[in-house]
Structure 1
Amino acid sequence: MTVMELSNLSVTLRRRDVIRDVSLSVGKGEFIGLIGPNGAGKTTLMRAALGLIPFVGNSSLAAMPLAERAMAVAWMPQQREIAWPVTVETLVMLGRTPHVGALASPTDHDRSQVDAAIRWMGLDDMRQRAATRLSGGEQARVLIARALAQDTPFVMADEPVAGLDPAHQISTMQTFARLAEQGKSSLVSLHDLGLAARHCTRLVLMSEGRLIADGCPAHVLTPERLAEVFGISAWYQDTEQGPVCQPLEVIR
């Protein structure tokens, strides 16, 4: 089963080609790390795939009516602005909006989905606190919980672990890995190659708007590609605990 199909997708912004002829398929139960240097086009690719910006080519998600799209994919953008001082529980409940009618009240099922998302992100002791009074890392966890509460077969997240401490970075990646075990799919942009190698089932490497490599971490994170795309040397090793990738030094 395919949850997203991109075909020959290109994006031009301010007369500059930002995405160039990218084709990508996401299957059921995949946890895909979208990696690449700053300016590679990762955020633009995800926004185009969702139909949030104009593009040329085809996106199965962008072709859906808005209501159907909201049931198919949850989106967590990089910008983490929380505008109103609502409680954490209320904010996470907003993830249930596609499932709750305009004039309807949340059902017991809606509440159970919210409770599960709050527990997954370790927010039980914060559920009645104002979300605007939390730290940046705590707010990031709340917004991830909101996306999880949406209970879609596919989640797209733009740098969801940025600003989190190491423990919550790992637990967040483990959350996406557990979703994959349950048959749900995730496409997550990352800068931390170690987290990407350790937790993702598949990596997609981009550079200058193009797809450079697509496959398992060992296939993508080769010394030659790391040198060409990132300008670094790195140590990569498959261990009993999983793959390890540690950048070592800049080589250009």
Structure 2
Amino acid sequence: MSLVSVTDLGVRMGGRAVFSDVSFEIGAGEVVGLIGPNGAGKTTLMRALLGLLPFEGQSTLAALPAAERARLAAWMPQSREIAWPVSVETVVMLGRVPHLGTLQRPGEEDRARVAAALERMELAEMRDRPATQLSGGEQARVLIARALAQDTPLLIADEPIAGLDPAHQISTMQSFAALADVGKSVLVSMHDLGLAVRHCTRLVLLGEGRMIADGPPGEVLTPERLARVFGISAWYKVTEEGPVYQPLEVLR
């Protein structure tokens, strides 16, 4: 079953086409990596399919009423700033707002979802600390936990592992894989092609103002596409622990 579908999606800014004619679907149980060079339009595409900016074409998610959209998809933008000095637990509890009625207080299920998200992101011991006193990487983990607590069929995350240390980059991608294992899906933009190859079930490659490829990582990141789109060469090998991908050198 398709959770979100975009057809002939395009965005223009300042009279210039950022991208055009992008079409793909995301079904249940997928971790879809959105990749491409800087300026390819990854963030713009995510915001467009959510209906957060004007676009051409169709997005089944953007067509939904805002309340229904919030129950279907959690959105983690690239911005990591937490402005208010409230506790980590309070920030994560905000993820439960789409499931609460007007003036309804969080119940047992809401607290359980928040506790699970805190544990998943290794934040349980920080739950009472003011979120503004945490490091940038820790705040990023708080916002990922908030998205996880929202408990939606689809999570859309814009560069969620940027700024995290290697251990938390890996554990975050493992958390996304765990969501896919229980039938949920993740659309995640990222620059680390090695982690994308290892943890994503599919890759959508943007570049040259369009969608260049959509498919399994090993089929998308061919030497020809790496050279043409990213201007690099890379080493790739399938091991017993999974695929390993290492960019080697700049070709231009």
- Band of TM-score, shorter chain: over 0.9
Q: How do 1:110-189 residues align onto structure 2 when only pairs under 5 Å count? A: 110-189=110-189
Q: Secondary structure at the match of 2:151?
A: coil
Partner Cα distance (2:34, 2:67) in 1: 26
Asked if the contact 1:39–1:208 (Cα under 8 Å) also holds between the matched residues in 2, the reply is no
The runs of 5 or more residues in structure 1 that have no matched partner are: none
1:11/1:55 contact within 8 Å kept: yes
User: How far has the Cα of 1:102 moved from its partner?
Assistant: 2.3
Matches of 1:209 and 1:82 in 2, distance apart?
33
Match of 2:209 in 1: 209
Partner of 2:46, secondary structure, is helix
- Residue aligned with 2:188, SS: strand
Distance 1:47 1:76 in 2: 10
Q: Deviations over 1:209-244 (max 9, x none)?
A: 311111111101111110010000100111111111
Amino acid at match of 2:98: P
- TM-superposed deviation, 1:18: 0.5
Give the partner amino acid of 2:122: G
Alpha-carbon distance in 1 for matches of 2:225, 2:245: 13
What CA distance in whole angstroms lies between the structure 1 residues aligned with 2:79 and 2:248?
30
Unmatched segments (≥5 aa) in structure 2: none
Identity of aligned residues (%): 69
Amino acid at match of 1:7: T
Distance, in Å, in 1 between the alignment partners of 2:151 and 2:196 is 23
2:234 is aligned with what amino acid? A
Q: Deviations over 1:128-149 (max 9, x none)?
A: 0000000000000000000000
Q: What residue number does 1:81 align with?
A: 81
Is 1:9 aligned to residue 9 of structure 2? yes
Show the counterpart of 1:45: 45
Deviations, residues 73-103 of structure 1 (Å, cap 9, x unaligned): 0000001121100000000000000011221
SS at match of 1:97: helix
Task: Calculate the aligned-residue CA RMSD, in Å.
Answer: 0.6
Give the total of aligned pairs.
252
| d(CA) in 2 for partners of 1:221, 1:7 | 23
Is residue 36 from structure 1 mapped to residue 36 from structure 2 by the alignment?
A: yes
Structure 2 match to 1:236: 236
Question: Is 2:204 the counterpart of 1:199?
Answer: no
Residue type of the alignment partner of 2:141:
R
Q: Deviations over 1:174-226 (max 9, x none)?
A: 00000000100000001000000011111111103311111111101111110
The corresponding residue for 1:20 is 20
Q: Cα offset for 1:72?
A: 0.4
Q: Is the 8 A contact 1:74 1:152 kept in 2?
A: yes
Matched residue type, 1:173? M
Structure 1: how far apart are the matches of 2:241 and 2:25? 28
Runs of 4+, deviation exceeding 6 Å: none
CA distance in 2, matches of 1:164, 1:176: 15
1:7-39 CA-to-partner distances (Å, cap 9, x unmatched) read 001100111100211001001110011111000
